Amino acid sequence: MKKYGKLLSILLAVMMLAGLLAACGGGTATTAAPTTKAAETKKTEAEKTEAEKTEAEKTEAEKTEAEKTEAEKTEAPKTEAPETEAPETEAEETDAPELEGDDPDQLPRKETLYYNGRQWGPVNSMNPLSNSHNLNMFFEESSLTTLLFYESLYMFNQNDGKLYPLLADGDYTEEDGVYTIKLKEAARWSDGEPLTAEDVVFTYEVNEMCSTSQAVAMKYISKIEALDEKTVQITADKDNYNPLKILEYFPQMHIYPKHQLGALVDSYNGDIEAIKNDYNEDAIGSGPYKPYHFDNTKIVFIRDDNYWGQDESMWGKLPAPKYIAHNIFSDNNAGSVAFQQGEVDMAQQFMPQVWKMWEDGLPVSTYLDEPPYYIGAQMPSAGFNVTRPGLDNATVRRALAMAIDYDQIGEAAMSGYTLPMVPALITRAEPEMAMVDLEALKPLQWTGKQIDEANALLDDAGIVDTDGDGIREVAGVNLVFQVECPAGWTDWNAALEIVAAAGKAIGMDLSTYFPERTVYYDDIQTGNYDIAMMSYASASPINPWLRSYQTLYSDGGANVDAERVFTNYSRYSNERVDELIDLIPTETDEDKLIEYYTELNEIYLTEVPTIPLMYRPSSFHTVNESVWTNFPEANDGRNIPPNILAQGYSIAGLYDLELVDP
């Protein structure tokens, strides 16, 4: 819990003077909720973005969830968000199981941790093989896999880029593309059955059989075998060898129970659609929580007090909250109001000017005490269709990159939740920066708002206005283009308005175009666009390679003329770039890797197929400490990342939570 600062001291002094504290033992609850940052916040940070903020109508959570989901389907995240629909006014019960316990409509507040921003509609299924379960709180699979119900072999920690064992018993070993993983002896399913190597093999086979989104990762795996009850052996595909993609599999894949889900699969005699459509009401997991209640207004999970993870080989205890609940809010505003009223403890949604909450005396905290308040893990960018006349010219692309006001994007579109842009195919995360010679890149990097320099660059290249209409031409083509992203994503809309203004300042006629999301998807996948906002690769143990692959890899030019693409929407092609991206996964010499990544970024900054516009968190980790406290925060010595105590290693934070008023 963050220090309360001067405000709390003043409150306590007043209360003492009033005689309200009978003793100094510290066990008495006060009437005022403590603030965590109010006294420390500088006014200038709050004022600099005043009146410029654009309130997001579609949540960042929606965008992030959609990007991760599509990444697993296609190896390139789209930027699509699922539709946000208001819940029905009357709760309509599903087939979800009701377990014994408290009334789900009146859960004990001091035993319940409430979330927002993770669930935007009622649950359709408990079946992890389904294409439409819509249970993001418990079924999301990515490098930051949700681990509350099903668990993975390892947990990814975006703070240090490392994998931490969960179901696995220690580190894996590798020899000649064969990986061996031991499983923890204590690992059990919620029905008491042991979790074994056969479950890991079954998970691989059933995903492949059902062609799930995870099946894409399996093309890099030749086979998975159970050597004994607790030993798994994974053999890489030697013809498609990519150890980075194998590494990505370990924290990403939920492990499923063969004895339960396998029986369901067998009951349908190979009917894949029937398998996927089964609700799976008897679902069991290995994680610390299990289903309790679902309806159209809320989802609730209850702690499994027999959870194997309380064994000394894992956490050594149970997580603090008995219940985890998520009301289904109609939109961002409804979720924000509930959060400010203390009805939500952990928010994973975009809320502009978050600092005003603690300035107003609310006990609200973010992972970082100071701007940008969140940890940037991805880079939404303006991507060029480099096959379009005019935009096929790298000088035009670079001039626009130089002219954009990135500070204004950070303040007006992102509410200050981004660090200053330093253009490259890396975020500001230490593990990524360590992979590149940053000094070598400086001569190629732009700083933004360089209008005079951008105009001079175009003039020197002979890209000038020859007919006096105010618009420059290249090879006889006027620089007239649309900049595109989905309607309603107002933070992205605002960013592209700033991009369009930069274009006009250097003789380009850029107009914004905000179609429905389905049209936008189709446009970027089929190449029916000029310039479009797009986002690749969030937090991952294989970045910056994955982001480089998704942004630049052309597969020898094969995707340039393809009818539809799911990576490299710019349809950029460069033989040396493809060669570098192919070389990196199998290179073990660290100096050589730095050399490769640096060269890759030098080409990127010269060719400019995309322009990074902002750093965005993989999760908006914002907490209200009215009920629960001791949430993870930066530099608190615990190294727990800001992924809302559910994804990857952030789940460790559930075991440290304490009640404000026990």
Tens-place pLDDT, residues 323-361: 999 999 988 889 999 999 999 999 998 899 999 999 999
Mean pLDDT calculated for residue range 102-131 = 89
pLDDT in tens, 451-485: 999 999 999 999 999 999 999 999 999 999 999 99
- What are the helix (H) ranges across 114-242? 136-139, 197-209
Contact 200, 153 (CB under 8 A): yes
Q: Which string of DSSP letters, residue by residue, matches 520-539?
A: HHHHHHHT--SEEEE----S
- Model pLDDT, residue 31: 28
Across the chain, how many H-helices and E-strands are there?
20, 24
Of 200, 237, 204, which Cα lies nearest the Cα of 220? 237
Asked if residue 2 has pLDDT above 70, the reply is no
- What is the three-class DSSP state of 4? coil
Mean pLDDT calculated for residue range 244-257 = 94
The two tokens of residue 446 are 């732009």
Mean pLDDT across the chain, nearest whole number?
85
10 Cβ contact list (under 8 Å, min separation 6) = none
Of 595, 233, 237, 608, which Cα lies nearest the Cα of 392? 608
CATH class, range 376-617? alpha beta
Domain ranges of the chain: 60-334+632-659, 376-617
Cα(64)–Cα(367) distance, integer angstroms: 18
Asked if residue 97 has pLDDT above 70, the reply is no
- Same-fold call for 60-334+632-659 versus 376-617: no
Cα(366)–Cα(644) distance, integer angstroms: 11
Asked if residue 61 has pLDDT above 80, the reply is no
Query: Distance between alpha carbon 514 and the CA centroid of its chain, in Å?
Result: 23
pLDDT in tens, 631-652: 999 999 999 999 999 999 999 9
- What is the three-class DSSP state of 484? strand
The two tokens of residue 449 are 């708002």
**Which CATH number is associated with domain 60-334+632-659?**
3.40.190.10
What is the phi-psi region of residue 237: left when phi exceeds 0, alpha when psi lies from -120 to 50, beta otherwise?
Answer: beta
pLDDT in tens, 170-184: 999 999 999 999 999
Cα(601)–Cα(580) distance, integer angstroms: 11
Mean pLDDT calculated for residue range 239-263 = 94
Rg of the Cα trace of the chain?
Answer: 26
Asked if residue 103 has pLDDT above 60, the reply is yes
Tally the residues of the chain. 662
Q: Which string of DSSP letters, residue by residue, matches 539-579?
A: S-TTTTHHHHHHHH--TTTTTTT-SS-SS-TT----HHHHH
Cα distances (Å, whole numbers) of residue 230 to 169, 224, 257, 646? 9, 13, 14, 26
Cα(461)–Cα(474) distance, integer angstroms: 9
Mean pLDDT calculated for residue range 538-554 = 92
Contact 633, 623 (CB under 8 A): no
pLDDT in tens, 119-167: 888 888 999 998 777 888 888 888 889 999 999 999 999 999 999 999 9
Find the farthest-apart pair of alpha carbons in the chain and give their distance in angstroms, rounded: 84
Of 653, 628, 650, which Cα lies nearest the Cα of 114? 628
Cα(599)–Cα(595) distance, integer angstroms: 6
- Model pLDDT, residue 491: 84
- Model pLDDT, residue 32: 32
H-helix or E-strand spanning residue 505: helix 490-505
DSSP category for residue 431:
H
Asked if residue 258 has pLDDT above 80, the reply is yes
Cα(569)–Cα(586) distance, integer angstroms: 26
- Positive or negative torsion for Cα 588, 592, 598, 599: negative
